[in-house]
Chain A
Amino acid sequence: METIMQIVFVPIGIASLGLILSLIFKGIDRRIAARFQARVGPPLVQPFRDIMKLMLKETIVPENCVRWVYESAPIIALVGSLMLLLYIPMGPFNAPLGNFGDLILVLYLFTIPSLAMVAGGFASGNPYATIGAQREMVMMMSYELPLAMLAAATAWKVTSFSIAKISSTVIWSTVGPLGLVGILLLLVVVLSVAPAELVKIPFDAPEAETEIAGGLLVDYSGRNLALFYLSDAVKSFAFASLIVALFFPFKLGTTIWGEFLWFLLKVLIVMIVSVTTVRVAAARLQIDNIAGYYWKPIALVSLAALALIAIDTAVVI
């Protein structure tokens, strides 16, 4: 009986908690972005209202689309993002599926929402969406290498791909000075991948409102759009939680709820640093610049980080 409870209700609870938290975080993100721009900004509950409004609107399906792909893409995207929450530990709470998957699985789960968007974009048959889907694929290919380096480097150090293991060891304390530099570089890499992973300015070429009118999402409306919106919010939250789990697993040593709040605060700070401040302070880059940026400097930096950590591990042992 207990196992059924665990299998059914814990994931549902975590998913709904994750949904609510990510929408609140989206509200905070919008509010802070507005304050950067000297605006008052929307109230914190605005994302909830947006979802509600989109749910009430008519869902239009274009005539010449591949209907089943078009309709299932948003659901796959949302399920993919919610799955992430089951693998990433939320501060003091261990991930319910933490024992069944590892960092590599999580990194591949991150591509599922993007792939679903690409599929939906192609399926909608709109030229803007096609261009957006092409751009999204180019971008995914560009930032995959740095992310793979991230997984390799952390696993090299901790000698395990398990996130539970990684987040239970404070990675900074296990290394010498060389490794410290390596981990710092790794942090820079992962923070600069974040806006691209989450399709935010300056790397929002696939959606590019003023160029291709919303790109991938141009034909989506109503419920389908709401699901994509939710999946975007959840994915941002999950990515920030992953960064916290990998790099900042520091504990306060208080009660379990205190730890949880501390974890949320860390996620918020990571989100503000890597997404909000970047997206208000930059213009949108062209897709070839984005690819160049990830293939040249960022890939080099991640390789250097991997090499440094490898050398450090060899020296320490």
Chain B
Amino acid sequence: MPTPAFFELVKQILSKPVTNLFPSKYAPASIKKFLKKGKINPPIKTPDKFRGKLIYEKDKCIGCGMCVRVCPSSAMELVGEPPKRKIKHYVSRCTFCAICTEVCPVKCLHMSDEFLLADFDKHSENLIVG
């Protein structure tokens, strides 16, 4: 089968595989044992402009509600009454567009590089900001 594709494939068998393993070698039978000898493949590095979980500086927030108006997936909610009005952000709804960080007049919202956000409960503490 001396086709051009075949030579490409032979070249590939001689070089390193390009896929990376799942962050643990196999699904561990026992978590405790696994953590003891654990070789956890670290997650891949994120680029500079990566948009991850939102960071919210609650003290700076003036509660203007602009982020609530522009959020495309309605992941923001206003809580409390005017002078002390703050926001609550539900990460499970977030689409990571970062438009809220741009609209914020006091720049109290930022994107972090945290992306391992899987959880069993969409209202868990980890997934609610603010």
In the assembled complex, the CB of A202 is this many whole angstroms from the nearest CB of chain B, namely 9
- A40 is contacted by which of B9, B19, B26 (Cβ under 8 Å)? B19
In the complex, whether B118 has a CB less than 8 A from a CB of chain A is no
Inter-chain contact A40/B17, CB cutoff 8 Å: yes
Q: Within 8 Å of chain A (Cβ to Cβ): is B13?
A: yes
Q: Contact: A277 with B17, CB < 8 Å? A: no
Residues of chain B within 8 A (CB-CB) of A280 are 9
A281 CA to B2 CA in the complex, in Å?
A: 9
Q: Are A39 and B17 in contact, with the CB atoms below 8 A? A: yes
Task: Please give, as numbers and ranges, the residues of chain A lying within 8 Å of B20 by CB-CB distance.
Answer: 40
Residues of B within 8 A of A39 (CB): 17-19
**Residue pair A282, B1 in contact (C-beta under 8 Å):** yes
Cβ-closest chain A residue relative to B22:
A40
The residues in B between 2 and 27 inclusive whose CB is less than 8 angstroms from any CB of A are 3, 5-6, 9-10, 12-13, 15, 17-21, 26
Contact A37 B1 (CB under 8 A): no
Count residues of chain B with CB under 8 A from any CB of chain A: 15
B12 and A37 form a contact (CB under 8 A): yes
* Given A37-B12, A38-B19, A40-B20; 16 other pairs, CB 8 A cutoff: A32-B13, A36-B9, A37-B9, A38-B15, A38-B17, A38-B18, A39-B18, A40-B19, A40-B21, A277-B1, A277-B6, A278-B1, A281-B1, A281-B5, A281-B6, A281-B9
Q: What are the 4 closest A-B residue pairs judged by CB atoms, nearest first?
A: A281-B6, A38-B12, A36-B9, A281-B1
- In the bound complex, residues from chain B placing their C-beta under 8 Å from that of A41 are 17
* Contact between chains at A281 and B12 (CB < 8 Å): no
Q: How far is the CA of A43 from the CA of B13 in the complex (A)?
A: 17
Q: List 8 A-B contacts (CB under 8 A).
A: A35-B13, A36-B13, A38-B19, A40-B19, A41-B17, A43-B26, A277-B1, A281-B5
Determine the distance from Cα of A205 to Cα of B20 in the docked complex, in whole angstroms.
32
CB pair B19 A35 closer than 8 Å: no
CA distance A277 to B10 in the complex (A): 9
Interface residues as binary, A19-41 with B (CB distance below 8 Å gives 1, 0 otherwise): 00000000000001011111111
